[in-house]
Structure 1
């Protein structure tokens, strides 16, 4: 089985944004230090665990603990750190099995994006980590595992992330705080309208205005569709057929939207008096459109994260059950 060979920009952005947020405060604090502990050479590396033949050393645990300390400002539990490292090794190994190709360029790109979100250059981020006693390789190793794992889970469980519109709407409805149904916010109509104006001279008498209104009503009675009705209107004296306009139902007040719906496609709205004359609108088309509601975007993202976590835990449990994990 071959999954996508390279990570996507959105995947790097997701990983980078999450890690940049958690490391941001640490970067500010460490950036103020003139001097501090530097990264200690990996001189004595005692093997603590073997994961399918790949070692996890005491140095790996120490480095991850230091990184965790920078992120959370709390002492990291050694057993928790060790289990996270075991999981990451299993993720990387699964990536090799599924032929997920995350190269150094992908990792460095995510590292660079992360630094940018913290208003740092990659070298400055590396220096910041170094002042906290953390090698950049430690963070890049975590980035690589996250990128690999995201591709594996999304590829292996692809159908689980194809959410139906009705499920998204139902989830959004359960969290709705106002009185307007979600369905009303995400569906609407686009109207194609052609204004038709019966020009009335300024200062014309009431009888002239009324005559124009009767002329407009006569056209309205004969108007069957825009294809034949618009040329008919153009033949009338002092009648202007203006360029089409598009109106979304969400842009219209309720009374006007109701009037257009009652008029129907291919018909004319009732005549209205304007400063320039008697105006009607030909409703030439009405198309149903899907609207992009922020609430749905948020719910869709929440559903994705929840599903990803479920599938991730499920697959990690499977990998652990099949792995040779030797604790020294």
Structure 2
């Protein structure tokens, strides 16, 4: 099916249309999964943006190869898979973009784990570094981060942006830790809480590092 689309959300300057959300809803039905299609598209857009920030690019050739493997693994010809995607309302292009985002995010997670473990240092290298530092075990501050997203529909941006900023400021004032953020968010409309995991100080994104380091434990950045 073809969907008449209009921009519903804008995330990091990337538009998410009503058509995108309808395709994702069809994809969830095809998988027989429960979920919020709009939230999934917002999460996918954020993940792709983070992968791009890390310099990760998934080529069209890589996506096509993965699409072919999916068809082969499910004992289908490409035309058959195209047909399934079309008939279900997902669309092959939407599925391919989903594949691209998954591949990019997997690479981003791999890069993060590699950097957290210090790359390919051997045990001897670690011991040598400790000896060079006078026998002191190297330490680094670790942060457990969450991102609280107040979504502003594109069509309502001029009318609701100031209100959403006030809501965000009010939540920030009440915020006392990552364990309660979802409880606060439950009473708000179009608010998503995204876990970013544990990140060592040297791996903090440059755009956020200063604000995060200046924030007290259990606090929220501006």
TM-score range, shorter chain: 0.5 to 0.7
Aligned-partner SS, 2:5:
coil
Whether 1:133 and 2:89 are equivalent positions in the alignment is yes
Q: Where do 5+ consecutive residues of structure 2 fail to align?
A: 120-143, 155-222
What corresponds to 2:52 in structure 1?
Answer: 96
Q: Within 5 Å, which residues of 2 pair with 1:187-206?
A: none
Query: What is the aligned counterpart of 2:69 among 113, 116, 138?
Result: 113
Please tell me the root mean square deviation across aligned C-alpha atoms, in Å. 2.4
Query: What is the aligned counterpart of 2:6 among 37, 46, 53?
Result: 46
Could you tell me how far apart the structure 2 residues matched to 1:161 and 1:123 are? 45
Structure 2 length-normalised TM: 0.52
Could you tell me how far apart the structure 1 residues matched to 2:45 and 2:80 are? 28
Count matched residues: 129
Preserved contact between residue 102 and residue 144 of structure 1 (Cα < 8 Å): yes
Deviations 1:255-305 (A, max 9, x none): xxxxxxxxxxxxxxxxxxxxxxxxxxxxxxxxxxxxxxxxxxxxxxxxxxx
Structure 1 ranges of 4+ moved more than 2 A: 159-162, 323-328
Q: Where do 5+ consecutive residues of structure 1 fail to align?
A: 1-38, 163-313
Query: What is the aligned counterpart of 1:65 among 14, 25, 41?
Result: 25
Structure 1 length-normalised TM: 0.36
What corresponds to 2:152 in structure 1?
Answer: 326
Using CA pairs under 8 Å that are at least 6 residues apart, name the structure with larger relative contact order, 1 or 2.
1
What corresponds to 1:153 in structure 2?
Answer: 109
Aligned-partner SS, 2:152:
strand
Could you tell me how far apart the structure 2 residues matched to 1:89 and 1:324 are? 15
Preserved contact between residue 111 and residue 140 of structure 1 (Cα < 8 Å): yes
Preserved contact between residue 51 and residue 90 of structure 1 (Cα < 8 Å): yes
Could you tell me how far apart the structure 2 residues matched to 1:326 and 1:114 are? 36
Alpha carbons of structure 1 residues 161 and 82: separation in structure 2 relative to 1, 3 Å: farther
Q: Kindly state the Cα deviation for residue 56 of structure 1 after the two structures are TM-superposed.
A: 0.8
Alpha carbons of structure 1 residues 86 and 113: separation in structure 2 relative to 1, 3 Å: same
Deviations 1:113-168 (A, max 9, x none): 11001101222101111121221011111111110000001101224599xxxxxx
Q: Kindly state the Cα deviation for residue 86 of structure 1 after the two structures are TM-superposed.
A: 0.6
Greater Rg, structure 1 or structure 2?
Answer: 1
